[in-house]
């Protein structure tokens, strides 16, 4: 069990309000990702749920029970910190066993659970090392191991992969998703990373300046961003946002079209422009097209290795059914 | 400092400092060594011939030697115990956010700025004086008979005075160590279900172990040589004659430089044994 409900939760540090009244429900077994720009309050929100900070007002319920007066250890949550926060003077075994030892489990049971966790996380060979003798990915796994042995109602991850290199991130991302599938435990996961958010989440919560901009599944956010902020934030490369005459044609203040929904051709199309920078990724190529008369540079994705050179004139055609329209307040129309 | 050229340049530039330091140490040490093998009585014409190890034998053979070693060890050990335990508590206290933190920290450090002679005199006259001392007033206020500190509890008095002086040092080092503890570790322990006392035992104390060994090491070396505090208070009577004080008495009061020098060499050996022993512990602690 691990349903987490936030009701009108706020948090201020002194007279700085970091979280404005916020409602959110995270269902049991859900993988919920918090994304948002730096400083928007993701970590703070996680720490409020964990109990490491007190809410200024509002109520947090875990499985229906208000937890305002319950200390962190008793909330049945486990947290994995960005810095891993392993205990440097203890071996991996002792690190993982620490919560069990604090819970007063007997030695044999501690060992049984530690070994089981180590097996799941491929740490069996490293049990007698200290954290200082492990690589970043291994430390990360120890931190996760320390969280899973407690069999918590929910896991809280604060940017757990941000200290790892790209290849390792992909690997760990899969491992965490795999873990979620196997344990079926609620997980709340904070990240900066688009790809992590899109690939891992059942539900994404987009935050800005302490309030929720939109909650939904990755595809909902991708298909129907509720406002300009979410439109610009979800998707990589960013959605092209176009204002002015072209937008007026669609009865909107701003229209948005994703790079993958524009086709590019050498001879005909609705808009014309000149190729600026092109990024070849092998599978895809991104062209940044200038001088289209639409304001900003327009980013276009072409599949495979299409070759237009810098300075070539090209023609662009957006898919009409994929155009997002926003009103003067930046809210989605239709 | 990895290429050959930069290493030899570094050596060259370090040389003057190293030579100066060596000279600083070696000259007095050598002179002490030389004197220790002589019969040298300044009031009776100075040098009176070489005597081999006679001074060494006499110094150890004197009835004052073993009691002096004992009181040295008791004073050093007592001060270490008090400063480390109170130092840890104070450091934890000072680490808490509170009003007037800067001021309190300066006040805590203040005793370290007071010269040993002055602090010895202040304690002797203002606190421990049997008639007018603050402590005797306190005792009388509660209806007790004032303690005659410096004679009845001489050892304790000296330990208190010296601890008062060295507590700031221990506190300061331990405070910086506590401040370097990653707060996420404590939060992780809190989430892992460790109550405050366990967090102290399993996280804070191991984190401090290095700083504690350093405090012990440095303090021991300085505490072996305390002198002024004893000189201005008990003058070595009532069982407070440490090794340092015994040497002083041999040289200045009995005017026997040779005998005193032999004692000095014993003190050097003792300090080195201590230092070696402690270095090994520190080494072990620094390794991980
Ligand atoms: N203890 C504190 N006292 C005062 N302000 C704080 C405190 N902790 C956080 N803040 C402020 O709260 C805001 C949100 O911080 P938070 O750490 O939650 O951001 P974040 O979304 O996790 O950012 P990042 O992605 O960079 O980690 C920031 O503006 C920060 O300055
Ligand atoms: Mg953060």
**Is B189 part of the contact surface with chain A (CB cutoff 8 Å)?**
yes
pTM of the model: 0.80
| Chain B residues near residue A88 by CB distance under 8 angstroms | 207, 288
Q: Which residue puts its alpha carbon closest to atom 24 of ligand 1? A: A38
Q: Is A13 in the pocket of ligand 1 (CB under 6 A)?
A: yes
Which ligand 1 atom sits closest to the C-alpha of A82?
27
* Average pLDDT of the segment spanning A123-147: 91
**Is B173 part of the contact surface with chain A (CB cutoff 8 Å)?**
no
* Average pLDDT of the segment spanning A15-31: 93
Q: Is A239 helix (H, G, I), strand (E, B) or coil?
A: coil
Q: In CATH, what class is B65-240?
A: mainly alpha
pLDDT digits (tens, 9 = 90+) for B112-126: 888 888 988 888 888
Binary contact (B184, A81; C-beta < 8 A): yes
A85 and A106 assigned to the same domain: yes
Question: For residue B274, what pLDDT is reported?
Answer: 80
ipTM score: 0.82
CB nearest to B198's CB, from A81, A102, A132 = A102
A40 and A164 assigned to the same domain: yes
A259 and A202 assigned to the same domain: no
Q: Tell which residue, A154, A171, A325, A161, has the closest CA to residue A239.
A: A325
Pocket test for ligand 1, best of A43, A45, A192, A208 (most atoms within 8 A of CB): A43
Binary contact (A87, B185; C-beta < 8 A): yes
Domain annotation covers residue A208: yes
A280 and A206 assigned to the same domain: no
Question: For residue B285, what pLDDT is reported?
Answer: 64
Binary contact (A102, B190; C-beta < 8 A): no
Which ligand 1 atom sits closest to the C-alpha of A41?
18
A172 and A65 assigned to the same domain: yes
Binary contact (B288, A130; C-beta < 8 A): yes
Q: Is A39 in the pocket of ligand 1 (CB under 6 A)?
A: yes
Question: For residue B52, how many other CB atoms are within 10 A of its CB?
Answer: 9
pLDDT digits (tens, 9 = 90+) for B222-280: 888 888 888 888 887 788 888 888 888 888 877 888 888 998 898 888 888 887 887 78
| Chain B residues near residue A79 by CB distance under 8 angstroms | 187-188, 191
Question: For residue A240, what pLDDT is reported?
Answer: 93
Q: Separation of A87 CA from ligand 2 center, angstroms? A: 21
**Between these two residues, B96 and A23, which has the higher pLDDT value?**
A23
Question: For residue A93, what pLDDT is reported?
Answer: 94
d(CA B225, CA B217): 13
Binary contact (A73, B194; C-beta < 8 A): yes
Q: Separation of A16 CA from ligand 2 center, angstroms? A: 17
Q: Can you give the residue ranges of every domain in chain B? A: 65-240
Question: For residue A265, how many other CB atoms are within 10 A of its CB?
Answer: 13
Q: Is A210 in the pocket of ligand 1 (CB under 6 A)?
A: no
Give the CATH number, domain containing residue A211: 3.40.50.300
Q: Which residue has the tokens 């910190």?
A: A81
d(CA B107, CA B251): 39
| Chain A residues near residue B194 by CB distance under 8 angstroms | 73, 98, 102
A206 and A264 assigned to the same domain: no
A195 and A242 assigned to the same domain: no
d(CA B263, CA A92): 51
- The residue segments making up the domain with residue A257 are 238-326
Q: Is A43 in the pocket of ligand 1 (CB under 6 A)?
A: yes
A13 and A128 assigned to the same domain: yes
Question: For residue B43, what pLDDT is reported?
Answer: 78
d(CA B116, CA B165): 8
A20 and A115 assigned to the same domain: yes
Q: Which residue puts its alpha carbon closest to atom 18 of ligand 1? A: A41
Give the CATH number, domain containing residue A260: 2.40.50.140
* Average pLDDT of the segment spanning A292-308: 84
A211 and A248 assigned to the same domain: no
Binary contact (A85, B184; C-beta < 8 A): yes
Q: Is the pLDDT of residue A8 over 90?
A: yes
Domain count across chain A: 2
Last residue of a domain, one of A230, A246, A268: A230
Find out whether B215 and B84 touch, Cβ atoms under 8 Å: yes
Binary contact (A85, B187; C-beta < 8 A): yes
Last residue of a domain, one of A230, A261, A285: A230
* Average pLDDT of the segment spanning A163-172: 84
Q: Which segments in chain B show pLDDT lower than 50? A: 288
Residue of A nearest to B197 (CA): A102
């Amino acid at each position: 069990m691990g349903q987490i409900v936030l009701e009108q939760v706020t948090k201020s540090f002194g007279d700085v309000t970091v979280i404005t009244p916020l409602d959110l429900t995270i269902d049991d077994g859900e993988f919920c990702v918090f994304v948002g720009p730096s400083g928007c309050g993701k970590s703070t929100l996680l720490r409020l749920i964990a109990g490491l900070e007190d809410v200024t007002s509002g109520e947090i319920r875990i499985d229906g029970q208000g937890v305002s007066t319950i200390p962190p250890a008793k909330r049945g949550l486990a947290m994995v910190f960005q810095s891993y926060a392993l205990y440097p003077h203890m071996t991996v075994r002792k690190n993982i066993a620490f919560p069990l030892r604090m819970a007063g489990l007997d030695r044999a049971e501690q060992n049984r659970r530690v070994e089981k966790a180590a097996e799941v996380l491929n740490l069996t060979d490293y049990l007698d090392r200290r954290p200082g003798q492990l690589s970043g990915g291994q430390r990360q796994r120890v931190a996760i191991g320390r969280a899973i042995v407690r069999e918590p109602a929910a896991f809280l991850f604060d940017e757990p992969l941000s200290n790892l290199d790209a290849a390792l991130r992909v690997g760990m991302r899969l491992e965490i998703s795999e873990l979620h599938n196997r344990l079926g435990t609620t997980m709340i996961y904070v990240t900066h990373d688009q790809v992590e958010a899109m690939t891992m989440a059942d539900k994404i919560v987009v935050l800005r300046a302490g309030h929720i901009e939109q909650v939904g599944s990755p595809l909902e956010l991708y298909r129907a961003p509720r406002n300009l902020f979410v439109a610009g934030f979800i998707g990589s490369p960013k959605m092209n946002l176009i204002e002015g005459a072209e937008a007026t044609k669609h009865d909107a203040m701003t229209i948005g079209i994703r790079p993958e929904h524009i086709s590019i051709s050498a001879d005909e199309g609705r808009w014309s422009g000149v190729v600026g920078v092109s990024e070849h990724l092998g599978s895809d190529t991104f062209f940044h097209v200038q001088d289209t008369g639409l304001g900003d540079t327009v980013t276009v994705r072409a599949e495979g290795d299409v070759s237009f050179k810098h300075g070539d004139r090209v023609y662009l055609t957006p898919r009409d059914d994929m155009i997002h329209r926003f009103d003067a307040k930046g809210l989605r129309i239709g | 400092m990895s290429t050959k050229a930069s290493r030899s340049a570094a050596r060259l530039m370090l040389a003057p400092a190293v030579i100066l330091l060596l000279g600083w140490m070696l000259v007095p040490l050598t002179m002490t060594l030389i004197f220790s093998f002589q019969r040298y009585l300044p009031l009776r014409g100075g040098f009176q011939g070489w005597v081999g190890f006679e001074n060494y034998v006499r110094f150890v053979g004197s009835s004052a030697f073993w009691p002096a070693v004992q009181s040295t060890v008791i004073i050093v050990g007592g001060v270490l115990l008090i400063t480390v335990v109170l130092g840890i508590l104070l450091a934890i206290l000072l680490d808490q956010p509170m009003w007037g933190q800067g001021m309190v920290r300066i006040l805590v450090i203040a005793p370290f700025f007071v010269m040993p002679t002055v602090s010895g005199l202040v304690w002797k006259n203002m606190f421990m004086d049997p008639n007018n001392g603050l402590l005797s007033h306190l005792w009388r206020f509660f209806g007790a008979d004032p303690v005659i500190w410096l004679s009845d509890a001489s050892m304790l008095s000296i330990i208190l005075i010296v601890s008062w002086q060295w507590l700031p040092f221990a506190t300061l080092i331990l405070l910086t160590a506590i401040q370097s503890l990653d707060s996420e570790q404590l939060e992780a322990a809190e989430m892992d279900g460790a109550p405050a006392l366990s967090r102290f035992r399993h996280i804070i104390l191991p984190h401090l172990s290095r700083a504690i060994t350093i405090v012990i090491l440095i303090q021991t070396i300085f505490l072996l040589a305390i002198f002024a505090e004893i000189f201005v208070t008990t003058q070595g009577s009532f069982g407070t004659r440490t090794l340092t004080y015994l040497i002083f008495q041999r040289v200045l009061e009995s005017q026997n430089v040779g005998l005193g020098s032999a004692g000095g060499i014993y003190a050097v050996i003792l300090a080195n044994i201590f230092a070696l022993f402690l270095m090994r512990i520190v080494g072990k602690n620094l390794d991980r």
